[in-house]
Amino acid sequence: MGEPRELTKRHRRSLSSRLAAVAAVLCLTSATVALLPASSSAATGPGGETLAKGGHTVRISRTEYGVPHILAQDFDGLGYGYGYAFAQDNVCELADHVVTLRGERSRFFGADGQSGEGEGEVQGSNLASDTYYSGQLRAGTVRQLLARKAPLGPTAELRRMVEGYAAGYNRYLRDTGVDHLPDPTCKGKPWVRPITALDLWSVVYDVVRVTATVPLVPDIGDAKPPTAAGDSATTTGTGSGATTGITSGATTATASGVPSVKAAAPGFGSNGWALGRDATRTGNAMVLANPHLPWAVGYFRLYQVQLTIPGTLDVSGAGLYGTPLVEIGHNRTLAWTHTATDAEHASVYALKLAPGDPTSYVVDGRTVPMERRTVPVIVRGADGKLSTVHRTLYSSRFGAVLSSGWTTTTAYAIRDANTGNLRAMNTWLAMGKARNIGQLRAAQDTFQGVPWTYTLAADTSGRTYFTDSSAVPHLTDAQLAHCTLPNDEGPTALDGSTSACAWGSDPDALVSGLYGPSHQPKLTRTDYVANSNNGPQYVNPEAPIAGLPGVYDTDPHLDGRSQLGLRMIAERRDGTDGLGAPGFTEATLRASMLGNRVRSAETGRDDIVAMCRAHPSLTATDGTEVDVTRACTTLARWDTRADTTSRGIVLWSAFYNRLLDGGPPDTWRRVPFDPAQPLTTPRGFNGEDLRVQRALADAVQDFAAGDLPVDVELGAVQKWAGIPLPGCDVGCFDVVEAGPDSGTGTPTAGAFGSSFLMTVELTPDGPRAHTLLTYGESANPTSPHFSDQTRLFSRKQWVTERFTQAEIAAAPGLEVTTLRR
């Protein structure tokens, strides 16, 4: 029962990428910009020089591998420097995302192009994407959120920072010129234009809803009543185009085609550890960050940066593209990371439609008409001419109506717990300022903006902290039992015909419909807290978290990666992992992270070797007798690791995935799941089970059909830009999924897995950290920072972080850009 969750996540990941949106690297020694607003104190640059009092200068100091360290006197300047630095590396990536958020993909790329939204099972058309985002713009959704005062709306500091970010990005674009951008992906393209603060807040709004609404944008944008033949519109030509009428038809799926929220969501994952004073050899707290995200999809990529305003903010780490802050990182006394929660962050509601009217639904016996919003979308035709089509969006009291499953009797709507959430940026800024766990907790309780992640943190006191402070629908267990509709073919949906199934609320929740801090799982320890996307129950098995509402995931089953992470911690504390004396050091923390252990093999490889030695010829699914002798020898010699030079992991992955594809593992496990032993069961393989034997035979057949030796090295078939990659997706702690062509082509062939790695020790003398951004700082394939850190990742090497101004100044090859206003 550990693998079904792993199987679901594996199948819902999509490695297809958006238009290869990439970037430029520009190394300047100085630039002149307009004056920044005044500030009351001066700052010292990396060389000991003083920045002009009044905040007139911003310095971008790039250390090894192009990591930018932004030093400014105020938030305007900090945003300015960050936006400029990001544009140097990724101007095209953000420009492409802005085209999406402005609802203009059809205008520039045609209606039938792929939008890149819906990264779960299927990507949507540009027309569907533009319909949704144009509707959001015309409704003024983000503007209305910005009109709120903090804590619901952004703080004044954050507003200034976002304005500065837009200005800095635009400054780079103006200085360089669209026709002279280093990246051919967007060089000279008409869709590369200056951005606004509203564009950036729209990026933020997409980020917070990326586990629910955003993957369903194609479904929302294409929704229409089942009786409609299409959305007809009078179209006014642009330029030399004539006036025409066009019809856009959107197919309506059956109930069995309705995507569940979790199935539609991208396949996020992560490992996160916070180690307290009782788990480390030095008595200093440490944090391991290891988010797993798509590598080629811009709004899932992380950018490494340090942001410094002396006396106000000094935080180092990584943030998602286009967001103005560090979201995983550390300051001098506090470090934190995030892992994707297994809690619910949205609900699908089944609407009972009024007889004879598929655009009205019934709640508590009363008929309620759906809300309609008609939006114009400009479309580029095959002849290059522009025309306008008018499309209609439908919504209900439960949220946007989906195309899939809309029949004459039933429709489905999605309610996202992160609707209206711009509070996330307030939360992360306050976390970056926090000096200890108490202040971090206060930041999260005050702004309640963490969208869809757990938080694991540690501070210089040696304490650790875990919480799920994310936006979770207030649904009681009684509601879930009563309101969840039976539907073997469709999604898990709640009954939308009764208000008794609507979300409740907590008195301490900032936003109605969500659980407040008093109900959120929390744990403080001096040994450790750890999570690998399992539920909160076993973040520390010595102190299980119990009594939570079911929407927080109270399933006691742990998948193989979660079990492996807890086992690695236990063995390091005991000194039984081969890494030396008991207790963590920062060096052994790094070694543990990149040890490339494979839980499924550690607990089951010997079972399979025994099986194939006893049965050297196995029957494949198609009835063919397959000689597995060489495969058996390969597995027997394998070290059960997923290093780039490992021989056996590729065969094991093929076998294991074949086995998982065959159905639940309950009957083919040697030791089934035991609720009394959740950390060690299920495990092993029943070698006499025909499904196990067929899986190995089928895998060997696959290798033969692909003319691939069964003992091929992992690095020969798993690469990024031609660089061998370690890791796997079959119980590896270091999760990586890639093919031989990942990181190449246009658009860039995708990969998934370990993205930003960080180990940090919080010493009395300041943080000591190592980092690794596995795909580098730039998405531009022509940039030296596109894959420079990928080579380090391939060799299990890390970047020593430079945190203090003195450390930054000492960096070999330091490049400094000075911006003046």
Alpha carbon distance 658, 661 (integer Å): 5
Alpha carbon distance 83, 348 (integer Å): 37
Alpha carbon distance 302, 306 (integer Å): 13
Alpha carbon distance 729, 656 (integer Å): 10
Q: Which of 738, 735, 763, 758 is nearest to 748 (CA)?
A: 738
Residue 782 has, within 13 A of its CA and on its CB side, a CA count of 16
Q: And the tokens for 333?
A: 């006394």
Alpha carbon distance 301, 380 (integer Å): 29
Alpha carbon distance 102, 701 (integer Å): 49
Three-state DSSP state, 434: coil
Cα 820 from chain centroid? 35
* DSSP symbol at 35: P
Which residue, chain included where needed, has tokens 């994407």?
129
- For β-strands 244-248 and 269-275, DSSP reports them as unpaired
Tell me how far CA of residue 576 lies from CA of 94, 272, 570, 582, 650, in angstroms. Answer: 47, 21, 9, 8, 27
Whether 755 is catalytic: no
DSSP labels, 440-494: HHHHHHHH----SEEEEEEETTS-EEEE--S--B---HHHHHHHBPP-SSS--EE
Alpha carbon distance 554, 472 (integer Å): 14
* DSSP symbol at 256: G
Tell me how far CA of residue 721 lies from CA of 56, 145, 186, 708, in angstroms. Answer: 41, 41, 20, 21
DSSP-based helix, strand, coil % in the chain, nearest 5: 30, 25, 45
User: Are 73 and 808 spatial neighbours (Cβ–Cβ below 8 Å)?
Assistant: no
Tell me how far CA of residue 277 lies from CA of 283, 467, 539, 791, in angstroms. Answer: 4, 19, 17, 33
Range list of H helices, 337-422: none
Cα 310 from chain centroid? 31
Exposed / middle / buried, residue 578 (Cβ in 10 Å: 0-12, 13-18, 19+): exposed
Three-state DSSP state, 340: strand
Alpha carbon distance 229, 214 (integer Å): 26
Catalytic residue among 115, 270, 403, 404: 270
Q: Which of 272, 273, 322, 320 is nearest to 293 (CA)?
A: 320
Return the C-alpha torsion angle 486, 492, 496, 497, nearest 10: 0
DSSP labels, 536-585: GGGSSTTS------GGG-------HHHHHHHHHHHHHHHT-SSSSSSSB-
Q: And the tokens for 681?
A: 């069961």
Alpha carbon distance 425, 447 (integer Å): 9
Alpha carbon distance 815, 99 (integer Å): 32
Q: Which residues contact 453 (CB under 8 A, 6 or more apart)?
A: 270, 338, 339, 340, 341, 470
Alpha carbon distance 397, 50 (integer Å): 56
The residues assigned a catalytic role are 270
